[in-house]
Structure 1
Amino acid sequence: MKAIKIIKEGLVQSVELPRPDLRVGHVLLKIDYVGFCGSDLNTFRGLNPLVRLPIIPGHEIAGTVVEIGADVAPEIQMGMRVTVNPYSNCGRCAACKNNKPNACQFNETMGVQRDGAMAAYIAVPYEKVIPGDGLSAKELALVEPMSVGFHAVDRASVTDNDVVLVLGCGMIGIGAIIRAVRRGASVIAADVSESKLALARRLGAKFSINTAAEDLKQRLDELTNFMGADVVIEAVGRQETYLAAIDAVTFTGRVVFIGYAKEPIPFDTQFFVKKELDIMGSRNALPKDFEAVMDYLKSGTCPVDQLITAVCTPDGAHAALNAWVKDPGSVFRILVKF
């Protein structure tokens, strides 16, 4: 079968591999689409400290059940269109015991610490399979990245009384915007890309700030009467956005960090105390976040085609990643079609 491997920094190859064996409790999926995400891009660029190379990338999955192993729950049916929860959990660490398997100490995410889904077929434990419930294959490939943004909003306990600033309007930031809007919050989107900000406004952001052309703090003060945002969600992973989040949040506000910063960040910690902030990390997503995204997609209001920048074949994966590196601001999602 055909698969995609990131061999080393800057090198992606289409390779031939044997079709996976089907074990007890597993199902075989024929892959329809898999999304390239920011972690895959960073792996390609040599900037992902978590990855083990060489690796088959991909954890944003749309597939079809084509074979069912022994001891699989009866709700998993042949021909069913599905997505997959791509995270593993040990069941024994503190996070798992606290019912937060998304933050398992020993998690291995598909496409990062273990081989992912960019192959014609994959075999996965049936417990990780999520029935598609009438969603299209392209919609299912968007569920996982959106769920990460949904989870961050849940971490912040966003309500309709909140002003929420989202720093970064890529796919995960867009997910956070959608979830916050659906909870009734007043959302401000910030990014350097005007096209991404236009989409954020279409999806319900009340205001937008182009930080390439405007001073973030000055514009935020204008919009909030110098109060700042009740919640700031950082979905970029850069030093400047980490620091901006602390500056932008109101006194007694909440800050949620999703992006992985690539370098140590020197915080002026006096503001942690003076503002009495709740500062949180947000990792991956929980099953309820997947369900919430799928409920949203079923509403039919998501501009799916605008979220998918390009669709390529496995043989075109190297060129697609090269193009993304050259113009990262122009890409929401690249899907690989098998």
Structure 2
Amino acid sequence: MKAVICEEPGRLAVIDRPRPEPAAGEVLVRIRRVGICGTDYHIFGGKQPFLAYPRVMGHELSGTVEQVPAGSALRPGQNAYVVPYLSCGHCAACRKGFTNACQNIRVLGVHCDGGMAEYLCVPEGNVVPVDNISLDDAATIEFLAIGAHAVKRGAVTAQDRVLVVGSGPIGMAAIIFSKARGADVTVMDVRENRLAFTVEHLGADRTLLVGDDAEARVGALTGGDGFDVVFDATGNARAMSRGLNFVGHGGRYVLISVVRDDIAFPDPEFHKRETTLFASRNAQPDDFAEVVRQMEAGKVPTGALRTHTGALTDAPQLFTEWLRPEAGVIKAILEV
């Protein structure tokens, strides 16, 4: 079978390797679509700290069930999405149902080879059939589930004023699922074109351009109250530290971003607001199910989000092209 491997930072290659054989309890999936994530670009750029090269990337996956274990409820020929988090099932987090925070988690395409290939074997529980969603849309479910999980963590309601800082794909997912709960949503970013996109296609209520006077403008917008819920999706330590300034008293601050640096807040500000601080990691099964429900209800503008497509075997050339800011990529999909 064909696969695309990142041999070292900055170098992708199309290779031939044997088609995998499923072990006991595994499903063989014929991969059909691979969404490209910021993590993949970081791997390509040598900025992923949890990875050893060479690596077959790819964790936003949809495909067709090819082979199933005896007694499986899955059927060959079904379209499905793949949950890329391989949790151990027995650590303290897994026993509590926090499989997204498994102490021994392996993520496809990061800790082990992923789905940028024609076939992939995964545990049966990580393959979820979809009947009313296209393969293109199914390949976007994972990144959208990360936003859905963050919104769940922030306990967003229709009474909340929400600020999403960072309008990349994950920030966009937080916007979509905050709006699905009826919240009033403001988006902050440095990119005017992305801010305009969130209003036109995602239903954001207003935008704020990042600047030195952002705190003052947030105060003016909220009557000095700040926001009920603030999401950070910037991947920038300085922005994550600054975000506390936008949280109102009694508010919730949800960090979707992960950075290698330390982040810090002034403790008097943190305490006087009695801020609730959340980390949001990966997603849980009910978050994936929520994405599917909202897709089936027509609440997710997947056509607008999916800006670029290309063939798996063209990935070495496409990655270089898609990384250019002027390419305007929001979500790119490789067709297998």
TM-score in same-fold range (> 0.5): yes
Displacement of 1:53: 1.6
| 8 Å CA contact retained: 1:96, 1:104 | yes
- Gap change, CA 1:26 and 1:286, over 3 Å in 2: same
- Partners of 2:15 and 2:268 lie apart in 1 by 53
Displacement of 1:78: 1.5
Structure 1 residues without counterparts, runs of 5 or longer? none
| 8 Å CA contact retained: 1:7, 1:53 | yes
Displacement of 1:329: 8.4
Deviation string, structure 1 residues 77-126 (Cα, Å, up to 9, x no partner): 12110001110112222211221111111111111111111100111111
Matched with 1:6 is 6
| 8 Å CA contact retained: 2:30, 2:120 | yes
Q: 1:101-112 to 2 correspondence within 5 Å? A: 101-112=99-110
The aligned amino acid for 2:203 is G
The aligned amino acid for 2:208 is I
How does the TM-score come out when normalised to structure 2? 0.95
The aligned amino acid for 1:12 is L
Matched with 2:231 is 233
Matched with 1:264 is 262
- Partners of 1:50 and 1:328 lie apart in 2 by 29
1:216 aligns with 2:214: yes
Deviation string, structure 1 residues 236-266 (Cα, Å, up to 9, x no partner): 2102220221111111211111111232334
Q: 1:157-196 to 2 correspondence within 5 Å? A: 157-196=155-194
The aligned amino acid for 2:52 is R
Displacement of 1:26: 1.6
Matched with 1:138 is 136
- Partners of 1:272 and 1:324 lie apart in 2 by 39
Deviates more, 1:269-278 or 1:3-12: 269-278
Matched residue of 1:309: which SS?
Answer: strand
- Partners of 1:173 and 1:335 lie apart in 2 by 18
Matched with 1:204 is 203
Deviates more, 1:97-106 or 1:304-313: 304-313
Deviation string, structure 1 residues 275-324 (Cα, Å, up to 9, x no partner): 21111100000110000001111123433222112112223212222233
| 8 Å CA contact retained: 1:234, 1:259 | yes
Matched with 2:280 is 282
- Partners of 1:9 and 1:217 lie apart in 2 by 38
- Partners of 1:262 and 1:195 lie apart in 2 by 28
Matched residue of 2:33: which SS?
Answer: strand
| 8 Å CA contact retained: 2:163, 2:186 | yes
- Gap change, CA 1:276 and 1:263, over 3 Å in 2: same
Moved over 4 A (4+): none
Displacement of 1:328: 7.8
- Partners of 1:49 and 1:330 lie apart in 2 by 26
- Partners of 1:294 and 1:195 lie apart in 2 by 28
Matched with 2:47 is 47
Matched with 2:304 is 306
How does the TM-score come out when normalised to structure 1? 0.94
- Gap change, CA 1:329 and 1:272, over 3 Å in 2: farther
Deviates more, 1:50-59 or 1:197-206: 197-206
| 8 Å CA contact retained: 1:20, 1:122 | yes
- Partners of 2:40 and 2:260 lie apart in 1 by 15
Matched residue of 1:335: which SS?
Answer: strand
- Partners of 1:178 and 1:337 lie apart in 2 by 25
- How many residues matched? 335
Identity %: 36
- Partners of 1:105 and 1:215 lie apart in 2 by 41
Deviates more, 1:261-270 or 1:61-70: 261-270
Matched residue of 2:86: which SS?
Answer: coil
- Partners of 1:328 and 1:177 lie apart in 2 by 23
The aligned amino acid for 1:25 is G
| RMSD after superposition | 1.7
Deviates more, 1:262-271 or 1:38-47: 262-271
- Partners of 1:188 and 1:95 lie apart in 2 by 33
